[in-house]
Amino acid sequence: MTDDLLARHRAVLPSWMSLLYDEPIEIVHAQDRRLTDSAGRTYLDFFAGVLTNAMGYDVPAISDAVRKQLDTGVLHTSTLYLIRSQVELAERIAERSGIPDAKVFFTNSGSEANDTALMLATQYRRSNQVLAMRNSYHGRSFGTVAITGNRGWSASSLSPIKVNYVHGGYRYRSPFRDLPDTAYIDACVADLVELLETATAGDVACLIAEPIQGVGGFSSPPDGLFKAMKEVLDEHGILFISDEVQTGWGRTGDHYWGIQAHDVVPDMMTFAKGLGNGLAVGGVVARGDVMDCFQAESFSTFGGNPVSMQGALAVLDYIDEHDLQANCKARGDQLMRGLRAANSPFVGEVRGKGLMIGVELVEPGTTTPNTVAAKQMLEETKKRGLLIGKGGLHKNVLRIGPPMTLTEAEAAEGLQILVDSLAALS
């Protein structure tokens, strides 16, 4: 760092705003899948701003779409007027969602999207009882910290939402981990049934879940869990919300939405991050009758603004035109194969789908979380010119989520750095 930016950051920004690395970096330039910091060092980016820069950096098709909107002079006026790009994007997302009679509301972030979904579900069901998954993360708003099953990320416990947590999302440390897939699903569903019968008053509004837990360390239950859970929810009229903030738009390789791996259509999905490729855009897509359940008026000043809408439309085009879902599958398989072949004693599990790969680090020969090794891996990879992320309940999971445009050569380059860094662990 060329000046005292870190000290100034510490002085004026909140203590709870986390920074990665012993010496945090300041990014001053970006191109394709590479970032350059203020010290002139260039890194291959395997975290994409926490899966936000899904197309990579400086993508002409996206910049041009945004520039064209800026050239009209209309950064934004108000969603009280008609915005053509907003309607177009809503139509496309509604159609892709598979949700019957779907309607879309745009927000500026994933937290706000989940907050809206919670407000819809609780209003629709006239109940403030919510089910969430253990080890979940759904955002930083007052509503969403209340349904985040990871103590390290729950900044406040004072929410009026009543929440109960269900087993299932984080298999590696689940009491059911050693069961085969079907028995694992049965055990999780039995847990859900018992929870409904004992811990709740029976009038639960919704279950919200990430198909692959993001902050929780890129862990996912066996395919089919959420279909089995939804059958129970349907018996009670409980709504199912899939939080697709990290898993949407094809990143998981086999599917466009993460939840499709479970062969189930949710009542609502929330999205954000990759849709804007760095522009602030999020939203909810929901069954029409659920979306329309508010009696009072409600709107968002910036949600659905034309700059974000044009950028997002260009992103969706780019994903389809370059078949990035298939690329995520191929590059994800390449990386996972290589990571498993490295056979490091520090790796308890390599898991994930497409370009959402988690590497659970453990004390060799045990399943004990190895937080020190995770921290060391971040520094070792950075030293070698690669940026990755970290997460998990015990902060011992490496999170690998490169831009969806990652090339085969870049995947090989990053993989080599990961393998070399694992070998450097002691």
Rule CB under 6 A: say whether 205 interacts with ligand PMP: no
Stretch that binds ligand PMP, among 36-44, 133-141, 167-175, 366-374 (CB under 6 A): 133-141
We find the least distance from the C-beta atom of residue 424 to ligand PMP, in angstroms, to be 29
We find the least distance from the C-beta atom of residue 72 to ligand PMP, in angstroms, to be 27
Indicate the residue among 117 and 422 with the shorter CB distance to ligand PMP: 117
We find the least distance from the C-beta atom of residue 209 to ligand PMP, in angstroms, to be 10
Indicate the residue among 111 and 308 with the shorter CB distance to ligand PMP: 111
Q: Which residues inside 246-275 make contact with ligand PMP, applying CB under 6 A?
A: 246, 272
Burial class (CB in 10 A: 0-12, 13-18, 19+), 123: middle
We find the least distance from the C-beta atom of residue 139 to ligand PMP, in angstroms, to be 4
Binding string, residues 50-69; x marks residues near ligand PMP by CB under 6 A: x-------------------
When binding is defined by CB under 6 A, the residue of 49, 56, 110, 217 that contacts ligand PMP is: 110
The residues, ordered by sequence, that sit 6+ positions from 419 with a Cβ below 8 Å of its Cβ are: 338, 339, 342
We find the least distance from the C-beta atom of residue 394 to ligand PMP, in angstroms, to be 18
Answer whether 112's CB lies under 8 Å from 141's CB: yes
Indicate the residue among 66 and 245 with the shorter CB distance to ligand PMP: 245
Give CA–CA dist 146/131, Å, rounded: 11
Stretch that binds ligand PMP, among 189-197, 239-247, 322-330, 403-411 (CB under 6 A): 239-247
Rule CB under 6 A: say whether 401 interacts with ligand PMP: no
We find the least distance from the C-beta atom of residue 381 to ligand PMP, in angstroms, to be 21
Strands of 206-209's sheet in order across: 102-107, 282-287, 268-271, 239-243, 206-209, 129-133, 162-166
Answer whether 121's CB lies under 8 Å from 206's CB: yes
Rule CB under 6 A: say whether 243 interacts with ligand PMP: yes
Indicate the residue among 52 and 370 with the shorter CB distance to ligand PMP: 52
Q: Which residues form the interface with ligand PMP (CB under 6 A)?
A: 50, 109-111, 114, 137-140, 210, 214-215, 243, 245-246, 272, 282
